[in-house]
Structure 1
Amino acid sequence: MQKEQQQLAELVKGKKVAFIGAGVSHKTLIEEFVGLGAHVTLCDKKNSVDDFGSYAETIRRLGIDLSLGEHYMDGFQGQDIILRTPGFEYYQKPLQDAIAAGTLVTSEVELFFDYCPCEIVGVTGSDGKTTTTTLISKFYEAAGRKVHLGGNIGAALLPMLPDVAPEDVAVVELSSFQLISMRKSPKIAVVTNVTPNHLDHHKDMQEYIDAKRNILLHQVPPCREVLGYENDITRSMVPDCKGKQVWFTRLHDTDNGAFLRGDGMLCMAEDGVVTPFLAQKDIKLRGLHNIENLLAAAAAVWGEVPVEAIQKVGSTFTGVEHRIEPVRVLDGVTYYNDSIGTSPTRTIAGLRSFDQKVILIAGGYDKHIPYEPLAPEVIAHVKNLVLMGATGPRIEKAVCEHPDFAASGLTIQHADTMQHAVELARAAAQPGDIIILSPASASFDLYPNFEVRGREFKKIVNELK
């Protein structure tokens, strides 16, 4: 057992440890913690062990205590350690009471940060996190480094700990839910932008911003911070920076960071030297927002990897699933899956990626974020709008109340299901048209996550005759 794993074992051995929920990462960790000698309690809203399906057998085999149902948070009492899941709101009273009573409240990501022996690069923001994180990981891989990729991007990091060597690099996508309680920050931190999001979970916009700032607040020099210049909130984070702060920007030249020059070259300016490193025409990623993601990723690794590695990845990488992902051409109509469009700003970026008006499928779970900023973009970039879900009426109201709506010729329809939405969109399409799923909303009204939503859309489209 390596040193870091030994330290984790010393933390949990003989301790009473409660896990909130049995998601993918917790299922792995529960087994590991029992093996390390912890006395584990699983706290979950489910009403009985049988509600866990196939995992019920594991619960019984491991002898885990259960605190279930309406009062599942009663299981927090008397615990030495509580591992929360990102979806569990940090400031709920039972959790804060446990902290006040001396319980260590932590998470899988926080423990990884505590014990990880290698350099960590962290990425957060309202938009662009996953593509930027993926690009950074590919830059390091192209440079010959072993990369551990995880966090909000989908893979649990703590179970990777036995395989992490000091010379490796961990590249971590961090959500506001993960950051809100973190007391360690990565050596290299990227904040892409901060716009209204997740206001169904955060008390207010300030709590959301403060959670994002945690990626910077606990850095220890020498360190590096990459901030989006075009976003007022990220620009205001400069006083939080403790190391070498650089910008990324598509709209301005800068003498401190990565930028898109007027001649179409992506450049990096640092220490008085401007280095052009990639031509915009050679980039395979669709959309100007992805130029920004490339600039952010390059600014993060500048000086850490050879320029040739950035050039190689930047000119070959075609994107991440569910992000303006081409699905199919049928009857001359091209279908795109942009299910990652869980907020208006993401959907706006997707719409701006096309040089023609599109047919847009939008709507979903309501995160209590404003839709007025989406309205002029829909009017400018959409000819047929198919709405579904709880936010459908809210999006329609914002669009219809815009002063340019009456003259726009935009048609709006409503669908009950994704199948119905695709059928309505297809009926409205002519050869040469583009249909894009970019909901500007979360998926939780109908789907467990945006990935499942995107894959159902692709399945429906691919089964069209």
Structure 2
Amino acid sequence: MNNNLVSPVGILGFGVEGQSTLRYLFREGVKDIVVMDKNPVNLPEVPAGVNVKVCSGESYMDGLKDCVTVVRSAGVYPMSQELFKFQMNGGMMTSQIQLFLEQTKSCKVVGVTGTLGKGSTVSMISHILDKCGKANIIGGNFGVPALDLLEDDSADRISILELSSFQLMTLSKSPDVGVVLRVSTEHLDWHKTVEEYRDAKANLVRWQKNSGTCVYLKDAEPTAKIASESPARNKLAVSFGDGENGSNDGNAVIEGSTLTIGSDKLFLSDCKVRGIYQLENMAAATLACTALGIKVADAFEALKSYETLPFRMEFKGEKKGIEFYNDSYATRPDATIAATGSMKRPFALILGGSEKNADFTELSNILVKERPNLKRVALIGATAERMLDDLKKAGVDEAGIKTAIFPTLEEAFADSLNIGEGGTVIMSPACASFGLFKNYKVRGQVFDKLVSEV
């Protein structure tokens, strides 16, 4: 049994991660458990001899008084007054990722964070390792809760974790290999400040050992600042060449649609993925894999066969002379900026969704002033009015870009088809999907269905 889990042990938040924590506590032989969630709790079958108390509803935090240790689920904000009092009174708070890092037998753990590209980079690392014959498993924010990975843990494999700021916020142990992708501003409906958000991200590398590896984007100031907090001696940088420095300016250099590491080059035209921004993810994935003993040439060869994840700048084909891209996973302005920068043809953009208080000023200015092939914008969701205001301030009318608000994705899609033959329709919303859809996957599935009916 984990000696750090002094009973009674509380589970704070009982969604997918909290349910995984309960299974873990059962496996660890913990006999006294308190489950706390604002929503109604449906417990699975409880093993004989185990006592599980449930606290739900508005006063669910009252359950803290019955706990010595609490495992916080990622979505529960850790800086609340209740949790502060709990710890001041001697209570211990931990998390799934903390427990995983303390207990895993994995020969190496790779952690990936950033505002953009986490899922793609994690899956690229796994793809490279698969192709090179190295056993690996993915978890964390990617879909499999970290503690589930301990169930059949093995020293023969590499664990790859996608880690959000929510998961990193209270972490006091870092992975062997930390990958810090482009970091901007996100989740300000949860984090109190931009500084708090970025400080949480820094925990990915802040506690690394000297023998660890930190991979980071050198030319993105917030990312470079986070990387500077890593004590790892092995720091591998991704930078952007200017045609003069070649591969000497950083360990990986992106120039146009070419990635260079040492004497090896990867051309985006040889790959299945689309979007120049993917080169950042490819560079980071390759450098992470070199820290795991993979040769650059082998990693590049593997990346040529890598296919994009669903709803991440996914090319859906061409119908009636129109190309279609499904980028439903783009729930932040930065993601949409990156996606639209890859458009070659005249294009229509479907934009908008639920409100997370993101700033759309930069997105609007770039769309109007730096995307000359943008011809139409169809706006949907709770952010539509605010986005339209920002687009107008940026000069969307003067630029001749047709803009309109639609109540449904179906109507926005129908309007976008007016881009005509030789054009492109891309759904890259820059917002979450809640309100109109359950999640980005459902939104993506509806878009796919609409494409299939063209």
Same fold by TM-score greater than 0.5: yes
1:289: Cα distance to partner? 0.5
Residues 379-458 of structure 1 correspond to what in structure 2 (within 5 A)? 379=368, 380=371, 381-402=373-394, 404-426=395-417, 428-458=418-448
Change (3 A) 1:98 1:162: same
Structure-2 residue corresponding to 1:257: 251
Change (3 A) 1:452 1:16: farther
1:249: Cα distance to partner? 2.0
Structure-1 residue corresponding to 2:60: 72
Q: Does 1:321 align with 2:313?
A: no
Mapped partners of 2:279, 2:350: distance in 1? 25
1:328: Cα distance to partner? 4.6
Residues 253-292 of structure 1 correspond to what in structure 2 (within 5 A)? 253=245, 254-261=248-255, 265-268=258-261, 274-292=262-280
Change (3 A) 1:121 1:135: same
Residues 93-172 of structure 1 correspond to what in structure 2 (within 5 A)? 93-118=81-106, 119-172=108-161
Mapped partners of 1:434, 1:376: distance in 2? 21
Q: Is the 8 A contact 1:229 1:247 kept in 2?
A: yes
Corresponding letter in the other structure for 1:28: S
Deviations 1:151-194 (A, max 9, x none): 11111121221322223111111111111110111111111111
Runs of 5+ unmatched residues, structure 2: none
Corresponding letter in the other structure for 1:248: V
SS in 2 for 1:220: coil
SS in 2 for 1:373: helix
Corresponding letter in the other structure for 1:420: E
Mapped partners of 1:59, 1:190: distance in 2? 39
Q: Does 1:310 align with 2:304?
A: no
Mapped partners of 1:444, 1:86: distance in 2? 19
Structure-1 residue corresponding to 2:36: 43
Mapped partners of 2:52, 2:414: distance in 1? 48
Deviations 1:238-295 (A, max 9, x none): 5312121121023454443111257x64222xxxxx2224233312211111011111
Structure-1 residue corresponding to 2:281: 293
Q: Is the 8 A contact 1:34 1:40 kept in 2?
A: no
Mapped partners of 1:323, 1:232: distance in 2? 25
1:60: Cα distance to partner? 11
SS in 2 for 1:160: helix
Q: Does 1:374 align with 2:363?
A: yes
Q: Does 1:30 align with 2:22?
A: yes
1:59: Cα distance to partner? 7.2
Q: Is the 8 A contact 2:239 2:249 kept in 1?
A: no
Aligned residues: 442
1:72: Cα distance to partner? 1.3
Mapped partners of 1:32, 1:296: distance in 2? 32
Of 211, 228, 253, 2:200 maps to 211
SS in 1 for 2:33: strand
Mapped partners of 2:191, 2:440: distance in 1? 20
1:139: Cα distance to partner? 1.6
Mapped partners of 2:327, 2:266: distance in 1? 26
SS in 2 for 1:227: strand
Mapped partners of 1:258, 1:219: distance in 2? 22
Q: Which has the larger displacement, 250-259 or 179-188? A: 250-259
Of 12, 18, 28, 1:20 maps to 12
Mapped partners of 2:450, 2:398: distance in 1? 33
Mapped partners of 1:117, 1:179: distance in 2? 20
Q: Is the 8 A contact 2:10 2:64 kept in 1?
A: yes
Q: Does 1:195 align with 2:184?
A: yes
Q: Is the 8 A contact 1:19 1:84 kept in 2?
A: yes
Corresponding letter in the other structure for 1:322: F
Change (3 A) 1:430 1:203: same
Corresponding letter in the other structure for 2:437: Y
Q: Is the 8 A contact 1:277 1:307 kept in 2?
A: no
Q: Is the 8 A contact 2:111 2:177 kept in 1?
A: yes
Q: Is the 8 A contact 1:139 1:313 kept in 2?
A: yes
Mapped partners of 2:250, 2:299: distance in 1? 18
Mapped partners of 1:256, 1:167: distance in 2? 31
1:149: Cα distance to partner? 0.6
1:325: Cα distance to partner? 0.9
1:86: Cα distance to partner? 1.5
1:63: Cα distance to partner? 6.0
Deviations 1:126-155 (A, max 9, x none): 111111111111222222111021111111
RMSD: 2.2
1:351: Cα distance to partner? 0.5
Mapped partners of 2:206, 2:376: distance in 1? 45
Mapped partners of 2:436, 2:46: distance in 1? 28
Q: TM-score, normalised by structure 1?
A: 0.89
Mapped partners of 1:266, 1:429: distance in 2? 33
Runs of 5+ unmatched residues, structure 1: 1-6, 50-54, 269-273
Q: Is the 8 A contact 1:265 1:276 kept in 2?
A: no
Mapped partners of 1:211, 1:217: distance in 2? 10
Change (3 A) 1:21 1:459: farther
Mapped partners of 2:185, 2:94: distance in 1? 26
1:30: Cα distance to partner? 1.3
Structure-1 residue corresponding to 2:71: 83
Q: Is the 8 A contact 2:286 2:300 kept in 1?
A: no
Corresponding letter in the other structure for 1:456: V
